Chains A and B, each alone.
Chain A
Amino acid sequence: MLELHHGAPMGFHLKPLIALHEKAVAFASRPYDPAAFAQYKDAWAAQTEVRYTLEVEGPVLIADGEAITDALFINIFIDDSQLGPRLGAADADGHWNLLMWGRHVAEVLAPSIHSLGCAAYPPKADAAAIAVLPTPEKVEGWRKAVEGGSAEVLADSRRKAGLSVAKIEAALATSGWISGEAYGLADIEVFGHAVALPELTPELANAEVSPRLLDWITRIKARLAVRAALATASPASGAWIPGPEHSRWG
């Protein structure tokens, strides 16, 4: 049986929970608190694809002994390998569009949401434990998360969130979904982070300036699978955790 190791149902951790429920796949939920750092004692913690995931603290799916990481790729794996309704695009064009959205989330939406989220709801983590995390990116990510981020980073995050809101709003104009004619992996990929936009950036994401985004969030939240995913029990608090670093250049 698949095992999903996850924190609170937010951001990257929410996405595979939704996909598993949408496909009605039986899985073992293994919740943990990322800020307690017990995940670094897992047998697979030193595997390159786990240690160096650009999500910094993302979920891990154990399938046939293999540790699968990165929420979008976990979801494509689940969709490809499990029975249940197909969530990915059937054609090459739709798959290209899904990957393009994944790139936008990884480089624009997720870094901004994690920075803004940590500023509003900083995680409580032990400084001495942070100092000995295995990569400089993890040490830096957790330090910034606990401290809340500089004014410069937060301003840049609000700028990026604005780009994402405009992109989502434009995409929804066609069919009411992010990519193609129906709900699918692209919606799940974007929703995991975009669901936080109305609270973290109310000036950008509200019923007046981005009505399609707000309506789309309401429609997705009403889905049974999404309600089940959002209700997933976890010892983690509702605090945000570090996410992908902001682009270093260009």
Chain B
Amino acid sequence: MPLPKLYHWEPNANSGKPMLTLMEKGVAFDSHYLDLLNFDQHKPEYLAVNPAGTIPAMTHDGKVFTESTAIMEYVDRAFDGPKLTPDDPAERWRMRWWMKHMDQYLAPSFSMIGWSVFIGPSVRDRDPEELKAAIARIPAPERQLAWRKAIYNLFSEEEMTESRRRVALGVVQLEEALTLRPWLAGETYSLADINGFNLAYALPLSQPHICDDEKTPRILAWLRAIYARPAAKATWALGRTDMAARVGYLARPAGGPNA
């Protein structure tokens, strides 16, 4: 059977989740890099694979799988390798609860800030007609709106304030969860930690006023423990930009990201 083929961008947010899961399982995969900032995901050759134009997507056994968290669960069930889902049903429930909370409550706020300060400015200065055409090619109206807001900086102050509130709440929630248990689901490293690492690895860099060794020692220790894993290093080595390279701060000992 051909190798699974993963269409992904940088090991960051959604793309990094299936990348790190495949690495942890030791599953060889065909890596197909799409440049999000070049709108590769809306080009006809990729839309033929995933008509929704979202990243990541994975092909395996003649089928196409989308949505990063659902892909992670597929990978854990479909392939041999270390199990990344806990044995205990209550821990499996907690793993799924946290993944949903991160995907559907925290991540939209994290990414609204990220798109506002990074994605939008990265593409904003390009030829206006080219940008207009790029937006018009986006299949889903919701994604068109997201890109329009990022490119033309249309986020309202009210939206940004609410996103900042949710990010700060998420930091408190993660710190509390990691105080109650060593890993997000319970006693073992699981898909929830892989998901959470992708969401939070840059928090101490982007939000140092609420997340550092003093204020959130559990989060910092958790991030360092995950980045110490060979699979995480191998995953982030597939990054091509400075954004992914930022993760290197986690290889340094406690004392703050810039220590």
Q: Please report A residues at the B interface, Cβ cutoff 8 Å.
A: 48-49, 52, 54, 63-64, 66, 68-70, 73-74, 76-77, 80-81, 91-93, 95-96, 99-100, 103, 106-107, 136, 247-250
From known contacts A49-B94, A250-B143, infer whether A77 and B89 are also in contact, taking CB-CB under 8 Å: yes
Inter-subunit contact B90/A249 (CB<8 Å):
no
Stretch touching chain A among B8-16, B104-112, B215-223: B104-112
Inter-subunit contact A95/B73 (CB<8 Å):
yes
23 contacts between A and B (CB under 8 A): A48-B173, A48-B177, A52-B105, A54-B101, A54-B105, A69-B97, A73-B93, A73-B100, A77-B92, A93-B61, A93-B63, A96-B70, A99-B73, A103-B70, A103-B104, A106-B100, A247-B142, A248-B112, A248-B162, A249-B108, A250-B143, A250-B146, A250-B147
Cα of A70 to Cα of B96 in the assembled complex, Å: 10
Closest 5 CB pairs of A and B: A250-B146, A92-B77, A92-B78, A81-B89, A99-B70
Q: A64-B90, A69-B97, A76-B92 are in contact. List 7 more A-B contacts (CB 8 A).
A: A54-B100, A68-B90, A70-B96, A70-B97, A80-B89, A93-B61, A93-B74
Determine the interface band of chain B, counting residues with CB < 8 A from chain A. Answer: 35 or more
Residues in A with CB closer than 8 Å to B149 are 249-250
Residues in B with CB closer than 8 Å to A93 are 61, 63, 74, 78
Report if B247 contacts A (CB, 8 A).
Answer: no
Cβ 8 A contact of B108, one of A91, A106, A248: A248
Cα of A63 to Cα of B89 in the assembled complex, Å: 10
Cβ 8 A contact of B69, one of A91, A92, A99: A99
Closest B-chain residue to A106, C-beta based? Answer: B104
From known contacts A100-B70, A250-B142, infer whether A76 and B96 are also in contact, taking CB-CB under 8 Å: yes
Residues in B with CB closer than 8 Å to A64 are 90
Interface set, chain B 141-199, CB cutoff 8 A to A: 142-143, 145-147, 149, 155, 159, 162-163, 165, 173, 176-177
Cα of A49 to Cα of B65 in the assembled complex, Å: 28
Cα of A247 to Cα of B70 in the assembled complex, Å: 19
Interface set, chain B 53-84, CB cutoff 8 A to A: 61, 63, 65-67, 69-71, 73-74, 77-78
From known contacts A63-B90, A69-B97, A73-B100, infer whether A96 and B73 are also in contact, taking CB-CB under 8 Å: yes
Cβ 8 A contact of B145, one of A69, A74, A100, A250: A250
Inter-subunit contact B74/A92 (CB<8 Å):
yes
Interface of B is mostly: helix
CB distance from B253 to the nearest CB of A (A): 30
Cα of A249 to Cα of B94 in the assembled complex, Å: 26
Q: Please report B residues at the A interface, Cβ cutoff 8 Å.
A: 61, 63, 65-67, 69-71, 73-74, 77-78, 89-90, 92-94, 96-97, 100-101, 104-105, 108-109, 112, 142-143, 145-147, 149, 155, 159, 162-163, 165, 173, 176-177
Inter-subunit contact B101/A77 (CB<8 Å):
no
Inter-subunit contact B112/A249 (CB<8 Å):
yes
Closest A-chain residue to B104, C-beta based? Answer: A54
Interface contacts (Cβ under 8 Å), in number, total 90
Most buried by B among A48, A52, A249: A249
Residues in B with CB closer than 8 Å to A103 are 67, 70, 104
Most buried by B among A64, A95, A96: A96
Cα of A73 to Cα of B90 in the assembled complex, Å: 10
CB distance from A39 to the nearest CB of B (A): 18
Most buried by A among B71, B92, B100, B143: B100
Cα of A250 to Cα of B96 in the assembled complex, Å: 22
Residues in B with CB closer than 8 Å to A96 are 65, 70-71, 73-74
CB distance from A106 to the nearest CB of B (A): 6
Residues in B with CB closer than 8 Å to A92 are 73-74, 77-78
Closest A-chain residue to B97, C-beta based? Answer: A49
Cβ 8 A contact of A249, one of B146, B165, B177: B146
Residues in A with CB closer than 8 Å to B69 are 99
Cα of A54 to Cα of B143 in the assembled complex, Å: 22
Inter-subunit contact B97/A73 (CB<8 Å):
yes
